[in-house]
Every structure is written in C-alpha cells, then in structure tokens.
Amino acid sequence: MDRNEFHLFLKKYAENRCTPEEMELVDHWYELIGDDTELSSMQEEEWQETEERLWEKIQEDTRKPVRKMRPVYRWAAAVAAVLIGAAFFFTSRDADQRYVNAGDGNYKEAINKTAASCTLKMEDGTVITLFPGASMKYPLHFAGTKREVYLKGKAFFDVGKDANRPFFVYSKKLVTHVLGTSFMISPALNDEVEVSVRSGRVEVYEDKIIKPNASTGVILTPNQKVIYRQSESSFETTLVESPQPVIQKSDSTSLIFNDESLRVVMQSLESYYGVEIVVENEHLYNCPFTGGLTQDDLYAKLDVICQAVGAKYEIKGTKILLRGKGCF
C-alpha cells in the first residue's frame, strides 16, 4: 500500500467504514505514537498531522531488522497482513470504478435482473448472452478502430468478425481481446475470473489502466480456459470441463474404427476437438482399436479407449496425456 492508499485507508476509518479488525489495527497504530486525543474527536488539521506521524511510524518499524519475535514484530506482521488486504480492497475498488466510469453518453447499460439468461444483439452482429445478475455497458454505435464493452458478472459472447476492428471486453482487471470468436467470461470463487473459448482465438491479459506495469497474459484456443487470480496476478490455463467439437458434424471424419492403430484414433480426436493428445509411451500407438466413439463428451470417449487398450489419461494444462504400457 502506498502513501495515497494509506490516506484513503485512514479516511475509510474516519468515516466508520472499516471492519472491526481494521478499526482495531488503526487504534493500535495510534497507541504506538502515544497521543491522548481521541481519534473520533479530531479536527481536519489534527487528522493530517496524525496521519503523517502514523505513516512515519509504520515506515520506521517495517525497516527494522527482525531478530526475535518480540511483540512489536508480531504487530508488524499483523500490519503487513492488513496492508495486503487493504491493497486488494483498493485494487478491487479500482476495477469496479473502471465499470462505473465506462463509456459516455453514447453508452447504454443492460442489467439482467431476471432468473433466466437474456440476449443482446450488437450492431456488428455480435450476440451476447447475459446470465442472471450480470450487467454490461456498450455503445449505441461502434465507432473508431475498436469495439469495446464493459462487463460485470457472467456472459457468453459470439463476436461478429471484423478484422479491422478488434473486440475488447473489460471485466474487473482483465481484458479479453478477440477478432471474431465465441467465448465465456465468468467470475469464479473469491477473486478468480474464468475465460473459456468455444471457437476462434482470444488474448487475455491484465488491464494496464488498473495495473500499468502488467505484462502477463495468455492466448486461448478452442476448448481451453484460463483461471485468473486477481490477488496473485496469475494465469492458469487448462481445458474446459466439457470440450465441444470444433468442426461441423457434416465435415467431420467418421469416429467409427475397425482395427485402427491408436495413432489414427488420437489424430481423429485431436482434429475433432482441437485438443492436443500426447502419449507417455510410443508403444501405445501400436495398440489397435475397434469401436464407435458415439459419446458426445470427449472424456467419455477417452474412457472407452483407455479401457480397450489398458491406459489412463490425465489433463496436463491444455493437453491430454495418455499413460500405459502400450502394445508390442
């Protein structure tokens, strides 16, 4: 937490908006500078002077080397914990403020207050499905070289293709950048946000307006998703829970096999779902497979294959790994 955020934190205290734990910490800070005046009775100029003394005291104690776990250092650890929590509070506030300040008089806001999903169609052909409780700000007309919308909550996007005007979705601290695709953005547990791709390709990265020094991000392809943890600024990529075919059924190759090598079967599944499948043991490719993979779910298909050839599969990031002795 920097000097400005510390000021806002104390202002929050003065306005009686702190949690009991935060109020107790501020009171403890105040005891350390040895002032007898009640905080609640201070005038503006007294608050300014006290704030300066508190900040200097915190800076002084956090610079001291730690040799023994004396009470003052236990206090310093408590300070650090609350500062981290306060930093997350300010970052979350900035992310929410990004939505509040989004757009101008040319932007509309759609809020889904119903118990069912609702659909919005943009002028460029983009179709957006807002889930219950979600809201979005979007322009009446996409002008300029960008198409930009602001999202709170969960939504599915089927973006109209326009290579000259990329599409941007701002959600909390994340930016999702696409040219033409379909994908889902959904808040997960705690401070997590998930972006999953149905078709096309998207770039997901941290919003540099909120985090100017951000440089991390990922590229997602069909049936991949990323879990972004705001407090850690971390991205974890993996496969979606239920991968969907990436080619039209009329264009797909038959998934009925008669004494085919496992290599051919795996190549067919890779093409059908756009997911890379690798084997731990090359001898697995020698195994023959006969049967029809009529199950809708990729993982159900893999269960059938693994049972037939004596193998197991694991999801490793955005790939699937097959383990087994194979055939000789």
- pLDDT digit string (tens) for 169-221? 998 889 999 977 899 999 876 678 999 999 999 999 988 776 666 667 899 99
Q: Which residues of the chain have pLDDT under 50?
A: 66-94, 251-252
Give the angle 154-167-177 at the CA atoms, nearest 5°. 75
Residue 122: both structure tokens together:
């943009």
DSSP code, position 39: G
Give the angle 111-112-114 at the CA atoms, nearest 5°. 145
Q: Specify the pLDDT at position 183.
A: 93
Q: Specify the pLDDT at position 28.
A: 65
Q: Specify the pLDDT at position 255.
A: 86
For β-strands 182-187 and 167-171, DSSP reports them as unpaired
Percent of all residues in the chain with a pLDDT value above 70, rounded to a whole number: 67
Q: Specify the pLDDT at position 88.
A: 40
**Three-state secondary-structure class, residue 314:** strand
> Which amino acid type is present at position 117?
S
- Rounded-to-integer distance, Cα 47 and Cα 38, Å: 11
- Rounded-to-integer distance, Cα 60 and Cα 56, Å: 6
Model confidence, pTM:
0.66
- Rounded-to-integer distance, Cα 193 and Cα 196, Å: 10
Locus of tokens 């889904």: 112
- Rounded-to-integer distance, Cα 47 and Cα 22, Å: 17
Strand ranges of the sheet holding 167-171, from the earlier edge strand across to the other edge: 107-111, 135-139, 147-152, 167-171, 174-178, 202-206, 217-220
**Three-state secondary-structure class, residue 288:** strand
**135-160 per-position pLDDT tens digit:** 999 988 888 889 999 999 999 999 99
Residue 43: both structure tokens together:
């005038």
